[in-house]
Amino acid sequence: MNSWDAGLAGLLVGTMGVSLLSNALVLLCLLHSADIRRQAPALFTLNLTCGNLLCTVVNMPLTLAGVVAQRQPAGDRLCRLVAFLDTFLATNSMLSMAALSIDRWVAVVFPLSYRAKMRLRDAALMVAYTWLHALTFPATALALSWLGFHQLYASCTLCSRRPDERLRFAVFTGAFHALSFLLSFVVLCCSYVKVLKVARFHCKRIDVITMQTLVLLVDIHPSVRERCLEEQKRRRQRATKKVSTFIGTFLVCFAPYVVTRLLELSTVPIAAHWGVLSKCLAYGKAASDPFVYSLLRHQYRRSYKEILNRVFHRRSLRSSGLAGGSHSRNVLPVSE
């Protein structure tokens, strides 16, 4: 195994570790906090988190084995099953992010009627649609025997080994990425751009009210006025940064892999290790999702802090109990 393979293997191991720990923490927060579970976005987050965990414990280890062994790491049946999961989980992940963007659009554009427009039943219907949509393509690929080990990506994924099916497979691959990656990207852009416009409109209204107040308060200290203006600027920057993060992580993680899959169907040569690297970037979405969508939010921070406090509190009680027991054992013989 050369240095490139060793580096890619190390990247996969790091991605697996971060993804497993962060997604498990999100799942613990969902199980621990009833307030989070009562909200409609919890279903989208749960769907995304379970898919990320399944990808972490099934798909990533087999890709790691493929990189290390430089060959198919499992039998044909297991490889087809993993390829089916790979296609399903990637599509489900993209559509789940699109569903989360729609939820945030409804929350920002219709804040007063959000609970009526986005109930748990509505969220469950959207999750059911993402599953049906995501199952369509791997089921079709399985029926057409287009699932197996692909050497370029060292993964069990979509592939076709028969030259006479090249055109059909190219059409299928193009349709698959158009109705998964491109559709989700368009929904993300439309939803978050609308969210950003509404957020900036509200910030502008707040700015106007603040400036009118500052004009009326002529005796206000200049430092207070500067702090108010600085806070207005930070509000606008936070809204832009969040939207850029949502769309940017989606593109950075998925776009290289999708472009590589499409270029592979043409005569454009692809570098030896670029396919595996693009696959690692796609896996990186499973590691970044918990931080982008969950763990940095106030409710999740409060939930995992409560979990950590409980764990450390129990450990302190156990340690104090053990210390008390050992102390009593030492004291009793003396008292006798």
Domains for the chain: give ranges and CATH numbers: 3-299 (1.20.1070.10)
Please state, for a pLDDT cut of 70, what percent of the chain lies above it. 83
In the block, which residue shows the tokens 């606008």? 236
Q: Is 236 helix (H, G, I), strand (E, B) or coil?
A: helix
Confidence band of 38 (pLDDT split at 50, 70, 90): confident
* More confident site: 258 or 5: 258
Q: Which run of H or E residues covers position 331? A: helix 298-335
pLDDT at res. 334: 40
Query: For the whole model, what pTM was predicted?
Result: 0.83
Among 196, 217, 147, 213, smallest CA distance to 176 is for 147
Among 253, 122, 240, 109, smallest CA distance to 184 is for 253
Tens-digit pLDDT profile for residues 208-247: 555 555 555 555 555 655 666 676 667 777 778 888 899 9
Sign of CA dihedral 247, 251, 252, 253: positive
| pLDDT beyond 50 at 332 | no
